Amino acid sequence: MSEKNAARGDGTMLVSAGRVHGVNASSVNPPVHRASTFLFDTLAAFETASSTPFDGPFYGRVGTPTTFAFEQAIAELEGGHRSIATASGVAAISAALLAFLDRGDHVLVVDTVYDPVRRFCTRMLSRLGIETTFYHPAMGADIETLIRPETRLIYMESPGSGTFDVQDVTAIVEVAKARGIRTAIDATWATPLFMKPLAMGVDVSIHAATKYIVGHSDAMLGVVTTNAETYDAVRRATQDLGACAGSEECNLGLRGLRTLEVRLRHHEAAGLDLASWLEDQPQVARVLHPALPGFPGHALWKQQFSGSCGLFAIELVESDAASVRALVDGLRHFKIGFSWGGYESLVLPMHPEKSRQVARWTGSGALLRLHVGLETVSDLRADLADGLKRLRPL
């Protein structure tokens, strides 16, 4: 945000971003402001606050000093104009979509999108008279062929959910800019550390802070970061929808940020360690991890990301279905559960064949998404090795 921060490394920013200081001494962490109501001494003070409601305490839904601190920290990390905290990742995405779309408009959404976003498009947006075309994640500049006069927004998610397809964000942004179309990206996998969408020309960058930013599986939180041109529209939409973030959640987001880099470096290393080991296991048909040299999107990933996280998928060889269940049920450290980005390892079967329209999933074995947590890597490897022994390939 401010120029004096421009030269600081991400690690330094993570430690200091959003911290406020009193005149003499103050606690390292800003206090958590729990508030719906702020009191004003005079009508004049109230009127001044009313004219700039997003820049200081005004009303709880608009933000508290804790909310603003979290928003400021994310904006700094993303190199954005301003960030807006929301009640969840999906609240951030729906606000960003509704900020730019109106009755009769058309939106291009990547087919590997997070499933609840697909449902938002096919249920909510279609009810509002907004048409969605799901496009193949391999489309780069050729996305131009799908653009119509009424296309207002191109929505990306890279890498995509479940199968980790990497998009050519730069090529898509170039086409969109030439046509005056807005772009938005869900960059949750990369976190604000490993991808800088705004520097790549994307208008709006979105994170499900629920994942790595909070990092401890104990809060729901989303955040949208905008450039100067898109800020007002996105702020209005988040206000109209009313799905504001709570102060406690923003505080947990701020707390998570402080350790984001060290946690991510561990998730990255442990994830790569297990992913490359899994590649050598006879029961594994494919490992879907953008940072593996053999992955189809690897070259693009190298250009557009500066690191990877602990989330990837494996396709098992075709096996007896009961033995796949036995593999998953018997895991001791990889627990079955939604979400990811916490300190714990998780496993979840994926079913892209049920929802995809153009990026058809053609795998014949079961697809398992793994989140590699902060447990000792050798324990995780042993857990997976035992699990794979339970598999009965056909």
Residues labelled catalytic: 61, 114, 186, 211
Q: Does 90 bind ligand PLP (CB under 6 A)?
A: yes
Q: Does 245 bind ligand PLP (CB under 6 A)?
A: no
- Of 61-69, 86-94, 260-268, 367-375, the segment contacting ligand PLP by CB under 6 A is 86-94
Q: Which is nearer to ligand PLP, 119 or 298 (CB)?
A: 119
188 binds ligand PLP (CB under 6 A): yes
Angle between helices 377-389 and 260-279 (to 10 degrees): 30
Site for ligand PLP in 114-143 (CB under 6 A): 114
For residue 41, the minimal CB distance to ligand PLP (Å) is: 38
Of 65, 159, 215, 222, the one binding ligand PLP by CB under 6 A: 222
Spatial neighbors of 47 by CB under 8 A, at least 6 apart, are none
- Which of 208, 250, 278, 380 touches ligand PLP (CB under 6 A)? 208
Closest CA to 380 of 259, 262, 275: 275
> Cα(153)–Cα(232) distance, rounded to whole angstroms?
16
DSSP 127-148: HTT-EEEEE-TT-SGGGGGG--
Contact between 368 and 328 under an 8 Å Cβ cutoff? The reply is: yes
Round to whole Å and give the CA distance between 326 and 389.
10
- Distance in Å from the first CA to the final CA of the chain: 56
Cβ(38)–Cβ(61) below 8 Å: no
Q: In angstroms, how far is CA 242 from the centroid of its own chain? A: 21
* Least distance between ligand PLP and beta carbon 342 (Å): 12
Q: Which residue has the tokens 């402080």?
A: 258
| Residue nearest to ligand PLP according to CB distances in the complex | 89
Q: What is the H or E stretch that residue 182 is in?
A: strand 182-186
**Does 165 interact with ligand PLP (rule: CB under 6 A)?**
no
In the 8-state DSSP scheme, what is residue 345? -
Q: How far is the CB of 114 from ligand PLP (least distance, A)?
A: 4
Among the listed residues 186, 203, 315, 383, the single contact to ligand PLP using CB under 6 A: 186
Q: How far is CA 178 from the centre of its chain?
A: 26
Q: Among all chains, which residue has been given the structure tokens 């627990």? A: 335
Within residues 318-347, the interface with ligand PLP by CB under 6 A covers 339
Could you give the string, one character per residue 11-30, with x where binding to ligand PLP holds by CB under 6 A and - elsewhere? --------------------
Q: Is residue 89 part of the contact set for ligand PLP (CB under 6 A)? A: yes
Binding mask of the shown chain, residues 281 to 320, with x at each position contacting ligand PLP by CB under 6 A = ----------------------------------------
* # residues near ligand PLP by CB under 6 A: 14
Q: Shortest approach of ligand PLP to residue 218 CB, angstroms?
A: 12
